[in-house]
Amino acid sequence: MMDRHLSAAGPVLDWLSASGITAIPCRPRSKSPVSAISRYGVYQDRPPSASALLARFGRERFGREVRDSFHLPTPERLAAIEQFWQAPGVRRWGPEVLSISIDMNYPTTDHYTICCLDIDDEEHLSLLDDPVFLLCPVVTGEKGGKGFFKLDRQGAWTRPITQFAGSESLTRGSPAFEVFTCSKHALIFGEHPSFTPDRPIRYRVTRGFSDPFPVIPWQTALAAVTRYARDEGLAVRRGAGPGLDQADLSTWLSR
């Protein structure tokens, strides 16, 4: 365990910066961003138009409505994030004061994006020990674990959110695990939203803290995930994630 590294924001910021990853500041015990990087915090009453957002980011970055959100790395938002982290003393803030997340929409400085393997069912944590994912940093919260890597898309379109589940959970309940390639963010620092004095749950890095995030080609990751799903009797849960107008399911549902 590496909890000692997560008592203050500074070491986490250094780790992400070394891999060219933007640290998203969030409210304590919450997945919500700090107000300074919200739509209103960045743009007040004049956010970018839908046409401008579509031209910059493409349709797959949005839900049913095309509008600005903290998931969009606009130049103005990136500047607001940089300014936030320059506040005096912010590097010493602890998990009770703020949370930090990684957003799968934000590009890294070496022109990748981040992919997250979110393991909900602890019986499937072994996916993170597959040789393909063995160098991925792993973060845990209340249950399961999340593995992260830089995604080389190889020019391919990737479905933003894909859920894998057993036959008993294909229509309801929690999936076994999920693959996020965009449209989501994941907390890596802070107190879990379920934190109570009796259950002091904090995010912790259990593997790979201070190590670089590996680069994995999409086809390599796809092969490892689908091989694991087949071996474990899992299938893609139809309709998971954003509206189907954004999601070409042919790649997944044909496997």
52-110 tens-digit pLDDT: 999 998 887 787 889 999 999 999 999 999 999 999 999 999 999 999 999 999 999 99
- pLDDT at residue 255 above 70? no
- pLDDT at residue 122 above 60? yes
- pLDDT at residue 4 above 80? no
Considering the chain, what is the average pLDDT of its residues? 89
Within 10 Å of residue 186's Cβ, how many Cβ atoms? 20
- pLDDT at residue 254 above 80? no
Strands (E), 77-207: 99-103, 113-119, 138-140, 145-152, 161-165, 177-180, 185-189, 204-207
Fold observed for domain 3-253: Prim-pol fold (3.30.2250)
- pLDDT at residue 252 above 60? no
Q: Are 240 and 162 in contact (CB under 8 A)?
A: yes
Q: How far apart are the first and last CA of the chain?
A: 36
- pLDDT at residue 125 above 90? yes
106 or 170, higher pLDDT: 106
* Distance set, CA 190 to CA 28, 37, 138, 169 (Å): 7, 18, 15, 30
Q: How far is it, in rounded angstroms, from Cα 254 to Cα 203?
A: 36
- pLDDT at residue 172 above 90? no
Q: What angle do CA 135, 139, 140 make, to 5 degrees?
A: 135
At 238 the pLDDT is: 63
247 — phi, psi (to 5°)?
A: -120, 115
Position of tokens 């680069």? Answer: 215
Number of residues that make up the chain: 255
